[in-house]
Amino acid sequence: MRQDDKKLGKITRWLVLGVVLLIAFFWVGWSEELEITEYRIASEKWQGSQGLTIVVASDLHSTMHGENQSLLITLSNKILISSF
């Protein structure tokens, strides 16, 4: 009986660990928050008011940010307009 209890305990621990890992995976993988990261690069080759703005939208699978992604488009436009 004791050996059966040990096996059951190990199986239970692995099951609990598996469930926790699955929950963590889905929590992180299906987050619908937008993350904005801004990088500023200085170079002697770019002087005066010259500048370059690049907006990269990635990892948007299975998420909606407003109707027809309107929030994403509005946010991208604000970033582009504010960079001038």
Asked whether the predicted pLDDT for residue 83 surpasses 70, the reply is no
Q: Which of 65, 13, 66, 15 is nearest to 35 (CA)?
A: 65
Confidence of residue 75 (pLDDT cuts 50, 70, 90): confident
How confident is the model at residue 21, as a pLDDT? Answer: 92
Region 19-48: mean pLDDT is: 75
Q: What is the mean pLDDT of the chain?
A: 76
Report domain extents, the chain.
Answer: 1-31, 32-84
pLDDT, tens digit, 9 for 90 and up, residues 39-68: 777 777 766 666 677 777 776 766 777 788
* Higher pLDDT, residue 39 or 32: 39
Q: Which of 32, 28, 36 is nearest to 69 (CA)?
A: 32
